[in-house]
Amino acid sequence: MMLKDSFAEVGAFETLRKVSAIGYNAVEISQIPMTPENVGELDRSRTELGMDIAALSVNIEGRKGMPVESLADNFDKIVDDAKRLDSSLLRIGMLPFGAMKSLDSVVEFAKQANGYAERLQEHGISLYYHNHHIEFAKFDGKYMLDIIADNSPAMGMEIDVHWVQRGGLDPVRTLEKYAGNTAMVHLKDYRIGQMPESSFGLLEKGDFPGFMAEFRNVVQFAEVGEGNLDFPSIIPAAVAAGARYLLVEQDELYGRTVWDALQTSYDNLVAMGHADLF
């Protein structure tokens, strides 16, 4: 997802050559059109760069404006691409927006996903669900994420530690809770940024609602090690939970380049003593 602009500019292979040069040896494909050209370059990156295509992204049903193939419309192609790229993991990146509106909608989505997960297992492919913060809303005292898990036993979890924190839970305890059912973990930090200078101008103008909007928006995504998450505890918990891949991701960069952000996360992980992860 972080690299989609580079994919569009120079292609998949040249993008992943730069990723490999930093020190990363695996990548998850998200928000990238799975055109014949892109699939071919991803395959080339496996053989020439040693890049592991860790997982591919899918939706249950098509979504307008999103370059993600759906299991409803593209099942056979998704299976073929996964086998060509030696990717045995598929992941759903977000709950369908319509499924967020009620308990019944959540259950319906989970059961539908479970049906596809069972079909995919026949092809040696596993399906996983990636959380945001919305999944920690409660229905009748139960977290939405637990409702999804209970109604989709054939589908595993991809735990995103930033979004767990933003949802008000402890990432380590959440990883422990889903141990054995988590194949992938997203590593991105949780930073409280500084108030922008412009916000104080709003205050001087008497725009208190505008100032408070800026105040509420100081929560930021951050490079691993540049925020407040306890990665020395999170990473061992992720490994203990059975994660096959720990994937660095950052949704917003705040003026930095994607390459600077990836380099910072890499350097910080190495400094923490986790060079063996790469």
Domains belonging to the chain, first-starting first, are: 3-188+224-277 (3.20.20.150), 194-220 (no CATH)
Instruction: Say if residue 273's pLDDT is above 70.
Output: yes
Distance CA 158, CA 153 (A): 14
Q: What pLDDT score does 65 carry?
A: 67
Paired sense of beta strands 189-192 and 219-222, if any: antiparallel
Pairing label, strands 89-92, 126-130: parallel
What distance in Å separates the CA atoms of residue 100 and residue 83, rounded to the nearest whole number?
32
Residue keyed to tokens 């959440």: 174
Band of residue 206 on the pLDDT scale cut at 50, 70, 90:
very high
Nearest to 98 by CA among 87, 109, 90: 109
Question: Kind of pairing, strands 126-130 and 182-187?
Answer: unpaired
- Give residue 243's identity as a one-letter amino acid code: A
Phi, psi for residue 265 in degrees, rounded to 5? -60, -45
Which pLDDT does position 3 carry in this prediction?
97
Q: What pLDDT is recorded for position 49?
A: 98
Band (140; pLDDT cuts 50, 70, 90): very high
Q: Dihedral (C-alpha) 274, 55, 160, 18: value to the nearest 10 degrees?
A: 50
Residue 235 and residue 246 in contact, taking contact as beta carbons nearer than 8 Å: yes
Using alpha carbons only, what angle is made at residue 125 by residues 123 and 130, rounded to the nearest 5 degrees?
Answer: 150
| Token digits of residue 202 | 């709003």
Q: CA torsion, points 157, 158, 163, 168, in degrees to nearest 10?
A: 30
The 10s digit of each residue's pLDDT in 169-185 is: 999 999 999 999 999 99
Cβ atoms within 10 Å, residue 25: 14
In tens, the pLDDT along 107-137 reads 999 999 999 999 999 999 999 999 999 999 9
